[in-house]
Amino acid sequence: MTDKSKNTDSGRVAFQGEPGAYSHQACRDMQPDLEPLACATFEDAFEAVEEGHAELAVIPIENSTAGRVADIHMLLPHKGLFIVSEYFLPISHALLATAAASEETLKQVYSHVQALQQCRETLRGLGLEACHYMDTAGAARHIAELDDPAIGAVASPLAGEIYGLKVLRENIMDHDHNTTRFVALAPAPNDIDDLAKTGEPLMTSFLFEVKNVPAALYKAMGGFATNGVNMTKLESYQRGGGGFAATAFYSEIEGSEKDGNVVRAMEELRFQTKEVRLLGSYVCARSRDL
């Protein structure tokens, strides 16, 4: 069991990936006064906060082109962390290569699977073979070490600067609106009264598991409709490895945990489900209106 009595290192913010990753950039934007702490996996980033090695973890949760980051849904139920803020980072992928390379010499490009999906049409148009790597910045470091003019990477311009690579093409994403949403996680939730004083619109995230009965989800959602609570996200995922009976959901709603209509909706949700876990309320960084 993690010792939560340890003093938190208030000078660090953990992220998954290597220096130069987009999560590194998000850390610098969200918490410019904290030192970014690179972690090999998402779980390592969570544990850095749980064990007091970092004050926060900044984690990508979804991308406007490639969709949700599935690993996060698997980790959130098992970690005692809370969402305290969100941030939307416009993603600007660059085609990076070593000094001797050119578009004519390139045959392969390495990057994280999400980045490759976001640039799929561009890479196909250039006739490049897409090769998966653990993360974008790691791919940049890898090709810098290989120093092969036939191999490039898709990563951030920041990664190119860090690893001494040149930019062959900028902004190679298939869609201009490509944006990744990050959340900051902390050992304790925000103080709702302090949030209310900001006057900003608030969001609340939570997890729940439905009962294995007919119309379970329909019944669980009824309280939000009758209490006028706007649900902006509802995503399902399977919990555990013992079969397909345990269906869990990650959801986001407008409002805070203390709003009267939210309180009533959550009471109804608890009555209709096996388990509910609040992940925290936080300031809405961007309107969900179309």
Per-residue model confidence as pLDDT tens digits over 209-268: 998 888 989 999 999 999 999 999 999 887 665 555 567 899 999 999 999 999 999 999
DSSP 168: E
- How far apart CA 239 and CA 77 sit, in angstroms, is 9
- 162, 125, 121: which is closest to 19 by C-alpha? 162
User: Does the annotation count 244 as an active-site position?
Assistant: no
- pTM across the whole model: 0.85
- Residue 289 confidence (pLDDT) above 80: no
C-alpha distances out from residue 12 to 16, 20, 49, 243, Å? 13, 16, 9, 39
Q: How confident is the model at residue 2 (pLDDT cuts 50, 70, 90)?
A: very low
List the structure tokens of 262: 């939210």
Structural domains for the chain = 12-90+178-186 (3.40.190.10), 94-169 (3.40.190.10), 192-283 (3.30.70.260)
Per-residue model confidence as pLDDT tens digits over 87-97: 999 989 999 99
Active-site residue among 15, 42, 82, 182? 182
Active-site residue among 65, 98, 136, 180? 180
User: Does the annotation count 136 as an active-site position?
Assistant: no
List the structure tokens of 150: 């036939």
- How far apart CA 160 and CA 147 sit, in angstroms, is 13
